[in-house]
């Protein structure tokens, strides 16, 4: 079977590569074609547009940046829905608005296709090691069809509910992560000012109740002064914005998210939007 993959950035490149390693032929597209070259070298066919990808494949995965990118990739003049074949499946793995996931599902149904929203958690290391958590919205029958493919990318694949439920679950995930990111950053700052050996401190507290992805994977990067992105600040600000927008619509306040978003915006305004989310520690003062 030939699969389509649109979006070959930090996450998408590894995820598509796993599918190819699993025996699937791939047609790929990225706005910056050079970012797809590693997949082309591996045997993928490079398409000129999302429309061309959709016209050649039975299952199309998308992993792009922002809701506006998803909108263009699916509904644009050269988008997926201009070229998709009846009976095809689209799987959007971008973190985007639940309402947009619902629109994609409705349009797919209208033209005789199927759709899932399937955002992921696990960062660049999860993508490289095929151990992502995949949160799915849509129909069980559709998930059953693509489950063998998703298993090549993740170790936890759970249907959360109807279309949009995967995105709502990802928002809950991102809300939780805001807490662990500020906790990790303040713990490192405190420990440094207290004169502790940071590596020993992290090794110690990560074995107890404080243990989390941020401590295990990101704190060691901070200690080394490595702020290269596994997940960039610009995209995390986007995610927090969606969460805050949805919370407002529901009539609830997310005070912790508001605080962390303000700190990340401080870094973004200083030109650090392309750094990894672990750079949050810089917003707390000299580290």
Catalytic residue positions? Answer: 170
Return the structure tokens found at 155.
Answer: 């170790």
Token pair 């949009």 is found at: 164
> Could you tell me if residue 216 is left (phi over 0), alpha (psi between -120 and 50 degrees) or otherwise beta?
alpha
Contacts of 203 (CB under 8 A, 6+ apart): none
């Amino acid at each position: 079977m030939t699969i389509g993959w649109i979006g070959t950035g930090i996450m998408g490149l590894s995820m598509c590569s796993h599918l190819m390693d699993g025996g699937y032929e791939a047609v790929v597209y990225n706005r910056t074609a050079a970012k797809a070259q590693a997949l082309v070298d591996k045997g993928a066919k490079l398409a000129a547009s999302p429309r061309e990808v959709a016209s050649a494949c039975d299952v199309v995965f998308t992993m792009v940046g922002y809701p506006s990118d998803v909108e263009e990739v699916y509904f644009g003049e050269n988008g997926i829905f201009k070229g998709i074949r009846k009976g095809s499946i689209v799987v959007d793995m971008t973190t985007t608005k639940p309402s947009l996931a619902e629109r994609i599902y409705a349009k797919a149904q209208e033209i005789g296709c199927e759709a899932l929203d399937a955002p992921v958690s696990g960062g660049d290391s999860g993508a490289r090691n095929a151990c992502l958590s995949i949160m799915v919205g849509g129909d069980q029958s559709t998930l059953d069809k693509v489950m063998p493919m998703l298993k090549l990318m993740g170790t936890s694949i759970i249907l959360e509910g109807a279309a949009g439920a995967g995105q709502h679950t990802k928002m809950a995930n991102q809300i939780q992560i805001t807490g662990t990111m500020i906790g990790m950053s303040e713990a490192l700052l405190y420990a440094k000012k207290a004169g502790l050996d940071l590596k020993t401190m992290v090794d110690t507290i990560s074995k107890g109740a404080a243990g989390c992805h941020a401590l295990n994977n990101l704190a060691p990067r901070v200690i080394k002064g490595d702020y290269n992105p596994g997940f960039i600040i610009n995209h995390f600000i986007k995610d927090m914005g969606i969460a805050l927008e949805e919370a407002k619509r529901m009539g609830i306040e997310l005070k912790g998210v508001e605080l962390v978003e303000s700190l990340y915006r401080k870094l973004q305004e200083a030109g650090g939007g392309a750094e990894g989310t672990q750079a949050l520690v810089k917003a707390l003062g000299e580290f």
